[in-house]
Structure 1
Amino acid sequence: MSFRWSPQTSQNASAVGLGALLLASAMKHFRTPGFYNAVVPDYLCRIDAPENPGAVDHSGRTVNGPLAIMSREEWIAVSGLLEAALGAGLLIPATRKIAADASAAMFVAFLAGHIDALRRAYGPDGTHADRRIHTVRLPLQLPLILWAWSLRK
């Protein structure tokens, strides 16, 4: 009996691939959260979190921005949980379309963090290693966005 590779088989294999990638990334969020520190913009992190000194207003007081609702660690954990949920959603045919839509949106949202990390890497405190890592990480978002988008069918 021969095996025929159909478009549906390709679609399923692709969904399993991206689902597995998201599940592996989700695990990394909890095993080595420091890997994701640089891609969480400071403006998203509460000033009471030790790693974020916060912005200073005109009177010299530190203030939280409107998006600073969680600490850096909480953002990393929440994004790990989101990636796990979307990875699992891609593995289930009944939830694949909504998981693909949400995955594409998530990767688009992550662009802000990657752009901010790249900006800081090329700033006065950036290192050569930071520049190299973030120069590679940012463009990888486009294939991930396109991959997730392709699973919407």
Structure 2
Amino acid sequence: MHDIAAIALALFLIAVGASHFLFPGYFRTLVPGWFPWAAPAVAASGVAEILVGAMLVVPGGRAAGGWAAAALITAYLASHVDALRHARRDRPRLLDRPAGVVARLVVNAAYIAWAVTVALTAPGGS
């Protein structure tokens, strides 16, 4: 089961990382307005997700990759908490409304739990 969870997380991160380059405009909307370098942050986080995903593909890198994924996704919580501060019910995008932002936070907490589980169940991960 561990291999399936690790490979699935790897594929997820690689796909999302690649999406940063395919749809950079969308990902720039997730960067808080107070952060001055949205475009470089989107590119850097895309590269980081691809690299972390690659770590998870290699059986010997799964513990470190799981912890790296958990740290990376935890760093994204700043964006979601900032979005919660600015969420309003009248926003056109569901993900910018209070319920949508709360859903984003819950989903990201699940991603963090997934990554921690992969790290802890990898050989040498605990």
Structure 2 partner of 1:95? 61
Report how far residue 120 of structure 1 moved.
1.8
Report how far residue 33 of structure 1 moved.
1.1
Structure 2 partner of 1:86? 52
1:74 equivalent to 2:40? Answer yes
Task: Provide Cα deviations, 1:105-130, integer angstroms capped at 9, x if missing partner.
Answer: 1111110111112222239xx61422
Partners of 2:9 and 2:26 in 1: CA distance: 20
Alignment of 1:101-120 (within 5 A): 101-120=67-86
3-state DSSP of counterpart to 2:34: helix
Q: CA RMSD in A?
A: 1.7
Structure 1: state its 5+ residue gaps. Answer: 1-9, 46-70
Matched residue type, 1:142: A
Structure 1 partner of 2:19? 28
Structure 2 partner of 1:44? 35
Task: Judging by fraction of residues, say which structure has more helix.
Answer: 2
Larger Rg: 1 or 2? 1
Larger RCO of the pair (alpha carbons < 8 Å, separation 6+):
2
Structure 2 partner of 1:67? none
Following TM superposition, the consecutive aligned residue runs of length 4 or more in structure 1 with deviations greater than 3 angstroms are: none
Alignment TM-score, normalising by the size of structure 2: 0.85
Q: Percent identity?
A: 32
Structure 2 partner of 1:146? 113
Alignment TM-score, normalising by the size of structure 1: 0.71
Structure 2: state its 5+ residue gaps. Answer: 122-126
1:127 equivalent to 2:91? Answer yes
Partners of 1:36 and 1:116 in 2: CA distance: 15
Contact 1:19 1:90 in 2 (8 A): yes
